[in-house]
């Protein structure tokens, strides 16, 4: 991917200092690193918007883990950031990846046999429910009616003119949630992110990278605030107060 010499750094065929520095934004450079190609304006806009949408969401588990780690090891910023990212999985942050795989299956199936996406969406949801697997990208403990981030991302994809098959697949899935599950689950930002990104040309194998990169930025900001206004030990104390020992008494 890169070659380092005494007088130059070559990255995917471009001179870093001559061709990239001062000419590409970090988002565009990240996408260039991923694909080896100059990203389209649509892809840069999509990645930018998705990272802004997912970067910060209050005292979520990743932030609490990072702040408490920093309280215990204030000299290791990198350790605190890592602690916040290690919990990225199918429930928190990593749901964009699994939701993207679901969208991709619906799109591929519809393209292969020509049946409406709603039929394939219903089949995929039925399979998930039968297997007692979570529905990625739907439901939220706070945004119970609608996730404003998801709404805005889909609006932008339409406004910018690149909403396509994956956005259509997401809408088909959203339309079939209540018929399959018997109750509504609003889509959340982790469903909108892959729909927008995949339609803009983002590689599906790197979907988890978007929330990871975005949350890293937010964690660094939280940790700077932690240095000035520490709450890490308060979070730990609050957890201790919220829980009660229910084991046997010492004898």
The enclosing domain of 164 has a CATH number of: 1.10.230.10
Same domain for 101 and 19: no
Look at residue 91 in the predicted model and tell me its pLDDT: 84
The confidence score (pLDDT) of residue 90 equals: 85
Closest CA to 78 of 68, 88, 66: 66
Helix (H, G, I), strand (E, B) or coil at 154: helix
d(CA 201, CA 45): 11
Q: How many domains does the chain have?
A: 2
Q: What is the pLDDT of residue 141?
A: 84
Interaxial angle between packed helices 209-228 and 189-200, expressed in degrees from 0 to 180 and rounded to the nearest 10? 130
Q: Is residue 247 part of a domain?
A: no
Tokens of 38: 């100059």
- In a domain, residue 153? The reply is yes
Residue 147 lies in a domain: yes
Extract the tokens encoding 235. Answer: 């979070």
Which token pair is 88?
């990225």
Is the CB of residue 47 less than 8 Å from the CB of residue 186?
A: no
Collapsed DSSP state (helix, strand, coil) of residue 44: helix
Reduced to 3 states (helix: H, G, I; strand: E, B; else coil), residue 111 is helix
Q: Is residue 248 part of a domain?
A: no
Task: Give the whole-angstrom CA distance, residue 150 versus residue 174.
Answer: 12
**Structural domain harbouring 70:** 40-239
This prediction has a pTM of: 0.94
Provide DSSP, 188-206: -HHHHHHHHHHHHT--GGG
Residues lower than pLDDT 70 in the chain: none
How many CA within 13 A on the CB side of residue 138?
21
Q: Is residue 48 part of a domain?
A: yes
Quick one: 4 and 82 in the same domain? no
Q: What per-residue confidence (pLDDT) applies to 140?
A: 87
Alpha-helix residue ranges (DSSP H) falling in the chain: 26-35, 41-55, 61-72, 77-85, 95-113, 117-130, 148-160, 165-181, 189-200, 209-228, 232-242
**95 and 74 inside one domain:** yes
């Amino acid at each position: 991917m890169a070659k380092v010499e005494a007088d130059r750094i070559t990255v995917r065929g471009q001179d870093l200092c001559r061709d990239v520095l001062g000419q590409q934004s970090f988002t565009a450079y990240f996408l260039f690193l991923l694909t080896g190609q100059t990203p389209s304006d649509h892809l840069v806009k999509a990645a930018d918007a998705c990272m802004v949408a997912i970067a910060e969401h209050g005292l979520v588990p990743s932030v609490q883990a990072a702040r408490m780690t920093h309280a215990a090891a204030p000299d290791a910023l990198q350790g605190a950031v890592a602690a916040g990212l290690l919990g990225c999985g199918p429930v928190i942050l990593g749901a964009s990846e699994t939701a993207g795989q679901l969208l991709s299956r619906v799109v591929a199936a519809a393209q292969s046999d020509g049946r409406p996406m709603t039929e394939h969406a219903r089949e995929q949801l039925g399979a998930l429910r039968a297997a007692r697997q979570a529905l990625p990208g739907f439901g939220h403990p706070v945004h119970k009616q609608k996730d404003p981030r998801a709404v805005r991302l889909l609006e932008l994809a339409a406004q910018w003119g690149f909403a396509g098959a994956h956005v259509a697949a997401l809408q088909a899935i959203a339309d079939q949630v209540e018929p399959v599950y018997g109750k509504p689950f609003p889509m959340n930002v982790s469903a909108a992110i892959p729909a927008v990104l995949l339609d803009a040309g983002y590689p599906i194998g790197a979907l988890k990278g978007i929330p990871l990169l975005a949350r890293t930025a937010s964690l660094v900001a939280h940790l700077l605030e932690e240095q000035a206004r520490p709450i890490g030990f308060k979070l730990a104390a609050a957890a201790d107060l919220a829980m009660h020992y229910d084991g046997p008494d010492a004898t």
